Amino acid sequence: MSVDKISDTEVLQWADSDLSILPPVGCDGQPLVSGFNTETDDRYVFSTDPCDWIPYIANGWSELPKCLVAPELGRHRANARHLEAIDMAMQRAQDCCRDCSPLNAVQYARTTMILDEEAYPEGWNGTIKFVGNDGAVIWNEGARIYDENICSAATSGLTATIPFSLNPGPNVITIKARNHGLMMKELNHGFYMRFTDDDVVSSITLD
């Protein structure tokens, strides 16, 4: 990849599923994600097959890189749309790309957070900041804890504050992100997620 050097201290280690295409849905109030687990949801939420997952291309980066807007035309370099987001379109391309998500694309991301059992023997309860681009679902240890059904960019200023908990030891977090079906200038899908408690972040390791 032709990218600028980037700090490697901030982004969690995620793994992503293959991409699939769902039936077209716009931004007119139709649900972007179903209100119940689909067969595909269950496949990835409860997956035990390592072949279901590919390491996220930007693991360890603090933000996404600068990309050529249109390499074939030699157009200028510009930042990826949402610098701190997990960008599923870039994952699919396995390269730095901007506005390269297929319409109605859906993918899953997964990480295992290991909470220090000595520091938090009773577990941790708090909040996270989260926004999907566009529709999204969060599962924590297999339990569906949050649905989002609005067309939105994955930026920190658009996040919702969501109650969140971690058990002592390993916690498997799975996130579904779904692009809308409208032909627009910005074509990307992914999510932004951040813990609001710095103390607990220092007590989390990753599998």
At 201, give phi and psi (nearest 5°): -60, -40
So what's the pLDDT on residue 6? 33
Query: pLDDT digit of tens for each residue in the chain (207 aa)?
Result: 223 333 334 455 788 898 888 888 877 777 888 889 999 999 999 999 999 999 888 777 767 777 766 656 655 556 666 677 788 888 887 877 777 788 888 899 999 999 999 999 999 999 998 988 878 999 999 999 999 888 777 777 778 899 999 999 999 999 999 888 666 666 778 888 888 888 888 888 877
Find out whether 13 and 60 touch, Cβ atoms under 8 Å.
yes
- The CA radius of gyration of the chain, in Å to the nearest whole number, is 17
So what's the pLDDT on residue 7? 36
